[in-house]
Amino acid sequence: LGRRINTAFQDLSRQPTVDAGTVDQLLKTVCSALIEADVNVKLVANLRTQVRSEVSALLNDKANANWSDAQRRQRVQKAVFDHLVQLVDPNHGQQKTDPESGAQVASATSGPSDVFKPRKGKPNVIMFVGLQGSGKTTSCTKLALYYQKRGYKTGLVCADTFRAGAFDQLKQNASKNNIPFYGSYTETDPVAISSAGVASFKANRFEVIIVDTSGRHKQEQELFDEMREIDAAVTPDLTIMVLDANIGQAAEAQSRAFKDAAGYGAIIVTKLDGHAKGGGAISAVAATKTPIMFIGTGEHATDLEPFRAQPFISKLLGMGDITGLMDKVEEMQMNGGQERQREMLKKIEEGGTFSIRDWREQLANIMGMGPLSKIAGMIPGMGQLLGGGGGGDDEAAGSKMKRMMYIIDAMTREELDSDGSLFTAPVRHKPTPREAGAVVQHQEASTSGDGSKKKSKKKKKAPTKVRMTARARRVARGSGTSVREVEEFLMQYRMVARMVKQMGGKNSWMRQMSGAA
Ligand code: GDP
Ligand code: MG
The 3-class secondary structure across 432-484, one letter per residue, is CHHHHHHHHHHHHHHHHCCCCHHHHHHCCCCCCCEEECHHHHHHHHHHCCCHH
Q: Which strands form 304-306's sheet, in the order they lie side by side?
A: 181-182, 154-159, 208-213, 124-129, 238-244, 266-270, 292-296, 304-306
SS3 state of residue 388:
coil
Cα-to-centroid distance, 212 and ligand 2 (Å): 7
* Backbone phi and psi for residue 501, each to the nearest 5 degrees, phi listed first: -60, -50
Number of the ligand closest to the Cα of 135: 1
Q: Which atom of ligand 1 is nearest to the CA of 297?
A: 23
Residue nearest to atom 26 of ligand 1 (CA): 298
pTM beyond 0.80: the answer is: no
**Can you give the length of the chain in residues?**
517
Q: Where do the DSSP E strands lie in 168-222?
A: 181-182, 208-213
Name the helix (H) or strand (E) containing 499: helix 483-504
Ligand 2 midpoint to CA 245 (Å)? 16
Residue 270 and residue 138 in contact, taking contact as beta carbons nearer than 8 Å? yes
Which ligand has an atom closest to residue 246 CA? Answer: 1
* pLDDT the model gives residue 433: 52
From atom 13 of ligand 1, which residue's Cα is the shortest distance away?
135
The half-sphere exposure of 157 on its side-chain side, counting CA atoms within 13 A, is: 28
Measured CA to CA, the distance from residue 169 to residue 172 in angstroms comes to 5
Ligand 1 midpoint to CA 156 (Å): 17
* Residue located nearest, by CA, to atom 16 of ligand 1: 299
Q: Is-contact 13 68, C-beta < 8 A?
A: no
Query: Can you list the alpha helix ranges (DSSP code H) found in 150-268?
Result: 166-176, 190-203, 220-234, 251-262
C-alpha separations of 64 from 56, 59, 342 in Å: 11, 7, 35
CA 136 / ligand 2 centre spacing (Å)? 5
For the four alpha carbons of 440, 441, 446 and 451, in that order, the dihedral sign comes to: positive
Which helix (H) or strand (E) element contains residue 240? strand 238-244
User: Are 105 and 96 contacting, i.e. CB atoms less than 8 angstroms apart?
Assistant: yes
In 3-state terms, the chain is what percent helix, strand and coil (to 5)?
Answer: 55, 10, 35
**Can you say whether the dihedral through the CA atoms of 164, 169, 172, 177 is positive or negative?**
negative
Give long-range contacts, CB 8 A cutoff, 24+ apart: 346-355: 348/500, 348/501, 348/504, 348/505, 349/504, 349/505, 349/506, 349/511, 350/506, 351/505, 351/506, 353/418, 353/419, 353/497, 354/419, 354/496, 354/497, 354/500, 354/501, 354/504, 355/416, 355/417, 355/418, 355/419
Burial of 74 (0-12, 13-18, 19+ CB in 10 A): buried
Quick one: which ligand is closest to 133's CA?
A: 1
pLDDT at position 95: 45
Per-position pLDDT tens, the chain of length 517: 555 665 666 666 566 666 778 778 878 877 887 887 778 888 889 889 998 888 888 888 888 777 776 677 667 777 877 888 888 887 654 444 544 545 444 445 567 888 899 999 999 999 999 998 999 999 999 999 999 999 999 999 999 988 878 899 999 999 999 999 999 888 889 999 999 999 999 999 999 999 999 887 667 888 899 999 999 999 999 999 999 988 888 888 889 999 998 899 999 999 988 767 678 888 888 889 899 999 999 999 999 989 888 778 777 766 554 444 444 544 444 444 556 666 777 777 777 888 888 888 777 766 665 555 555 555 555 555 554 433 445 566 667 777 888 899 889 989 999 999 999 887 765 545 554 444 333 333 333 344 444 444 444 455 567 788 899 999 999 888 899 989 989 988 887 787 777 665 544 433 433 333 3
**Ligand 1 site residues, Cβ closer than 6 angstroms:** 130, 132-138, 215, 242, 270-271, 273-274, 296-299, 303
Measured CA to CA, the distance from residue 515 to residue 93 in angstroms comes to 13
For 92, counting Cβ atoms within 10 Å of its Cβ (0-12 exposed, 13-18 middle, 19+ buried), the class is: middle
d(CA 110, ligand 2 centre) in Å: 29
Identity of residue 249? Q
Residue 391: closest CA among 277, 287, 499: 277
Q: Are 107 and 94 in contact (CB under 8 A)?
A: yes
Distant-in-sequence, close-in-space partners of 102: CB < 8 Å, separation ≥ 6: none
Chain Cα centroid distance, residue 71: 24
Output phi, psi for 202, to 5 deg: -60, -45
The ligand 1 atom at the shortest distance from the C-alpha of residue 296 is 23
Cα–Cα distance for residue pair 187/157, rounded to 1 Å? 13
3-class SS at 238? Answer: strand
φ and ψ at residue 3, rounded to 5 degrees = -65, -40
The amino acid occupying position 93 is G
Candidate of 129, 132, 134, 138 to mutate for ligand 1, largest count of ligand atoms within 8 Å of Cβ: 138
Amino acid occupying residue 313: I
Q: Coil, strand or helix: which one is 56? A: helix
Q: How many A from CA of 138 to the centre of ligand 1?
A: 6
The ligand minimizing its distance to the Cα of 161 is: 2
**What pLDDT was estimated at residue 176?**
93
Are 503 and 380 spatial neighbours (Cβ–Cβ below 8 Å)? yes
For the chain, the distance separating the N- and C-terminal CA atoms, rounded to the nearest angstrom, is: 28
Nearest alpha-carbon partner for 2 in 229, 201, 275: 275
Which atom of ligand 1 sits closest to the CA of residue 132? 2
CA torsion, points 234, 238, 244, 249, in degrees to nearest 10?
110
Amino acid at 175: S
Q: For residue 183, which amino acid is it?
A: G
Q: How far apart are CA 248 and CA 108, in angstroms?
A: 26
The pLDDT value recorded for residue 237 is 97
Query: Rounded to the nearest whole angstrom, what is the distance from the C-alpha of residue 133 to the centroid of ligand 2?
Result: 7
Q: Which of 212, 273, 299 has most ligand 1 atoms within 8 Å of CB, for mutation?
A: 299
Pairing outcome for strands 154-159 and 208-213: parallel
Alpha carbon of 222 to ligand 2 centroid (Å): 17
Position in ligand 1 atom list of the atom nearest CA 169? 8
Neighbours of 414 (CB within 10 A): 9
* Strand 104-105 to 124-129 pairing: unpaired
Predicted confidence at residue 418, as pLDDT, reads 92
Per-residue pLDDT at 339: 64
Rg (CA), the chain: 28
